[in-house]
Structure 1
Amino acid sequence: MNFKLVRTYFYFTRGQRAGIFVLFGIIILLQMIYFFADFGFDAKKYPDKQKWLSLQSQVDSMKVNEGKMLSKSYRFNPNFITDYKGYKLGMSVVEIDRLLAFRKENKYVNSPKEFQNVTKISDSLLNAIAPNFKFPEWVNNKKESKEFKKYTNQAFAKKEKIILIDINQASKEDLIKIYGIGEAISLRILKQKENLGGFVSMEQMKDVWGLSPEVIENLNTHFKISVLPSFKKLDVNNASLKELTQFYYFRYALAKEIVTYRSMKGKINNVEDLTKIKGFPVDKAKIIGLYLDFN
C-alpha cells in the first residue's frame, strides 16, 4: 500500500482545519441546546386545550351510554324468530330449524316451556332469553282464565250454561267478550259480515285475518248460525265481470274465467260446474254455493 498517497487525503490547509473546528463547535452547541432546552408548548398559549380536556370525561360517559342503548334488548314473539335472530340469541342451526319446521305446520308456542320442548335448547339459554319473550294478549288471558277456573266453586260452575248467540246478530260488545278479540278484530268481523251480507257458516271465521285457531275455537263455543241470513244472491249466469269481481270469494282472474266458461259452455247449473273452472276455491265450494243463484 502506498502510504504517501493515503496521507494526501488527510492533509488540510490552515483554512480547512479552522472550518472543521468551527463545524464541530456548532454540532456540540446544538446537542447542548437539544438536551438542556425545554421545547414544550406553554399551556397558557392554548387556553382552549384545557377546556376540551375537561369535557373528555363527559364524552367518554356519553359513548358508554350509547353502547348500552345499542345493546338494549327488546321483547319479541319467539314464534317469529328468523335465522339471524336465532343466531344472535345463541341458538344453534339445528335448534332454529326445529322451530321453523314447527311453524311450517301452522303451530305456535305459547310459553317458554313449549319453546324449549320444540327447539330443545338448554335450560341456561332458555333462562337467558325467556324474559324477553312476548306472547299475544289472548294467550296471557287464556292462562289467567284457566288459573281462575281452578278456584271457582264447582257447585256454582255446574249451574253455568253458555247461551249460543247467532253470529249474525252479535254486536261489537258481544264479540269483545271473547278472549283474543279486541275492538279492531271485532270491527273486522262485522265488516266481513257486511261485505258478505251475512255469515252462512262458522267456518268463515277462518277467512277473518288475525283470528288464531284458539280464538276461533272460543268463537264456536259462544256463537253459531241459527238461521241463514237473508241476502240477495249473485246471479252467476247473468252477472257482469264487474259484479263477479265484487263478490268476496271471486277475484278478477277467477271472475274472468267464469265469464269465459259461460261463453263457451253455456249456463252454469250448480256449484259443481264452478269447481271445474281454473282457480275456483274447491274447499269453499259448499259455502260459496249458498251465495249464488244458478237460475
Structure 2
Amino acid sequence: MKRLLTYFKFNKTEQNGFFVILVVIILFSIIYSLVSRNDKNDPIVHQARVFEQSFRDSADAVDYPNRKFKVADVHLEKKTAPIDRDIGADDDNRDTKLFYFDPNNLSIDSWRRLGLSDKQIAVIKNYEKKGGRFKNKNDVRKMYSINAKLYEKLEPYIRIQAENIGAGATAKAPLLYDKFETNHAELIDINTCDTTALMSLKGIGTILSKRILKYKEVLGGFYRIEQLKEVYGVTSETYDLIKDYITVSNLEGIKKININQIDANSLGKHPYLSPKDAKLIVNYRDQHGNYTNIEDFTKIGTLSDLAIAKIAPYLIFENDSR
C-alpha cells in the first residue's frame, strides 16, 4: 500500500502545474455554460436564425423582380384556419370545385373554392392591389403562388374577358395578337397564312414564322397542328401559347406523292423518310409491283408503325381517289 501511495506524491513544481490546469478547466467550463444558456449572442446561431427568417420572408413575397410585396399586406376576411402552408404546396386533399372563371378581381371565396390556400390567394390579391392584371392564361401560370400542377388543373377553366376601357381612358389600338386571344372565331390556318399572320401570335417572330412556312413547303402542308412542334425553335412553351389560336382547315391543299411513280432520291427528301427508308420502299415496289394501299408498307418489314402513320397522309396510290 505504501508503495502505491508513492505514485501520488508531487513535488512543489508538479503541484503548481496541477493547480494551474485545474483552474483553466474550471474557467472553460464556466464560459461554455454561459454561452450555451444564451445562444442568441452566438454569432453562428444568430446568422442561422437571420437566414431562416430571410428565407421565410422571401417565400411570402410576390414573384416580382423587386420582391417588395409581402403576403402580410393583405388581410383576408373570413379566415377559418391559421396559414400553415407554404406557397405553391400541393393540396390534393383540399376540397375543390372547378368552374369557369376570370382570374381578374375574382373573389377570395371563389379562389378558395378552386382549391387555393389563403396564403396563395394573398399573393394574387397583392398582385392586383399593385395594378397587376391577367391578360392571358400565361399570366396566371407566371404567378409565384401557382405551381405547375395547380395551373394544369385550373387552365381549362380560365376564361379571361376583354378588358373594358374605363371612363376618360384613352383607347389604344389593339395589338394584332389581342384579336386572336379574345376572339376564338378568328383562327389562323397555318396552311394558308403568311408570315404577318404568324407574327401576330405571341412567341412567333420573323425568323420563326419563316421557318414554319418553309417546313410547310417541305412537308407538303400540315394536316395536324401538333406538327408545329417539329419546327426548330417552336418549344413546348411557344406551342402552348399559340395552339388555341391556330387551325388546319385546308387539307385539300396538301401535296400528295404518287408512291408508285416517285424515285428514291425524290422520296428521301421528305422529312418523314430517311434516304435509306426511301430506297427500301422503291426497291420493294420494283420487286413486288405497285403499292395498292398504305397497308402494303407493313410488308417491307423495316418501317415502324409510327413512320408509316406519319407519311400516310402525304401518299397517293394508283386508283386512289384521294
Q: Would you tell me which structure has more helix in proportion to its own residues?
A: 1
TM-score tier after normalising by the smaller chain length: 0.3 to 0.5
User: TM-score, normalization: structure 1?
Assistant: 0.45
TM-score by length of 2: 0.41
